[in-house]
Amino acid sequence: MASVQRFDVGRLDRAKRTGAGGARVPASVARTGVQVYTDERGNTVREYRPPEAVFAPASLETLGSIPVTVGHPPEGVNPRNYRSLSVGHVSDAPSGRRSDGPLEWLDTAVVVHDAEALRKVESGELAEVSMSYLADVIAEAGIAPDGQPYDAKQTNIRFNHLALLKDGHARAGSGARLRLDGNQESTPMFRADDNSAPTKSLVKVDGIDVEKGSDTHISLLERSITAQTKRADEATASLTAAQTLNGEQKAKLDAAEAELATLKARDIGALVQDELAFRQSMLPVLPKADGKAYDFAGKSREQVKADAVGPAVMAEAAKLTSEPERAGYVAAHLKIKLDAAGKTPAALHTPSVITDSTGDKTKKRTDRRADAFNASFGAGDTK
């Protein structure tokens, strides 16, 4: 579950003057149902705002007296920037609840004091409102009561500020509009200072409405460019890593193919003669079964040597701590038996290990010789 910043919209309706010349306007500022957002990666997310989250008492306690701004400041409103951003506040009077078909709206009142903001509202440039808040988002897909699918659900809503927006920027649809007095949306509700500064148009950047050309606008554009550059760099790094891995795999394949070519080029006759000499030298010291000669089929040279020295010697060898010690122990006992049989110690040769053509298994060269021998003459008695 992640805590994220969200912006939702509502409408103002039937403004009344305050004693200081501002405007107090009843407003519908938030609603239930599914709303669409864009996450930090640019993906579209459909989030459901259930009634128990929108109208939770703990959430409503954060609504009263929050500041009103023109557009959404990207860093939100805090004590350090309040004076430069605030053009009014949300009433701390108890909020209301009303139904609009399958949706429910949260009603309150917005108080606007700033002359420039009032002039923009009067001219119709600022015709919508938008709530900025933090919410915990639970990844939970489902179908809302009005039949809309959603990807996640909001809970634990905490309001930060309410923004006045340019007409047409409402996330919640046509119902989220500034309604000055009944259906007469262009009727002035007050007369602003004639010397007010000219209005500035609002633009939307990453779902946030800001004044075009303002410091906030530039800051958001820079942040968006930085995020896009980061994603491009990450994609480039991933591509480079994939290309490196592909090169390593190709090198291994080339090495395996070279080894296979070497093996194919070997003199099969020499391999067979070498295996035949080994078997003939070992026969005098190998056990026989039912009077039949020792069967070499399917056995490596290590297994043949183990059978020659017998299980007792192999058991003692297994007690030694290293492979060289075990091999030396077996070789010494085999030499004693071969010497007694009048055979040359050359039969004790330990073959080297080469890489199999698959690249991930090892097979002793002498095993290959045995394979070649069996293929040419068959296994069994070599007398």
Query: What DSSP letter does each residue of 265-329 carry, written as one string?
Result: HS-HHHHHHHHHHHHHHHGGGS--BTTBPP--TT--HHHHHHHHH-HHHHHHHHTSSSHHHHHHH
Say whether pLDDT at 12 is over 70.
Answer: no
Domain presence at residue 382: no
Asked whether residue 10 carries a pLDDT value surpassing 80, the answer given is no
Does one domain contain both 206 and 59?
Answer: yes
pLDDT band at 369 (very low <50, low <70, confident <90, very high): low
Q: Around Cβ 276, how many Cβ atoms within 10 Å?
A: 15
Task: Tell me the per-residue pLDDT of 40-98, one tens digit each, with 9 for 90 and over.
Answer: 677 788 999 999 999 999 999 999 899 999 988 888 899 999 999 999 999 888 788 98
- Confidence (pLDDT) at 80: 92
Considering the domain architecture, whether residues 229 and 339 belong to the same structural domain is answered as no
Mean pLDDT, range 328-342, rounded to an integer: 90
269 or 131: whose pLDDT is higher?
131
Q: Are residues 44 and 72 in the same domain?
A: yes
- Asked if 35 and 114 sit in the same domain, the reply is yes
**70 and 133 both lie in a single domain:** yes
> Does the residue 383 lie in any domain?
no
Query: Is the confidence at residue 250, as pLDDT, over 60?
Result: yes
Same domain, 241 and 347: no
* Better-predicted residue by pLDDT, 11 or 92: 92
Q: Are residues 19 and 142 in the same domain?
A: yes
Q: Are residues 239 and 287 in the same domain?
A: no
pLDDT in tens, 212-236: 666 667 767 777 788 888 888 889 9
Based on the fold, state whether residues 79 and 167 are members of the same structural domain: yes
Query: How does strand 23-31 pair with strand 16-17?
Result: antiparallel
**Cα 369 from Cα 361, distance rounded (Å):** 17
Of residues 372, 364, 378, the one with CA closest to residue 273 = 372
Q: Do 359 and 288 share a domain, yes or no? A: yes
In whole angstroms, what separates CA 339 from the centre of its chain?
Answer: 68
Q: How would you class 316 by CB atoms within 10 Å of its CB: exposed for 0-12, middle for 13-18, buried for 19 or more?
A: middle
Residues 35 and 162 in one domain: yes
Asked whether the beta carbons of 176 and 136 are under 8 A apart, the reply is no
Domains: count for the chain = 3
Domain that holds residue 350: 266-377
CA angle 100, 104, 108 (to 5 degrees): 105
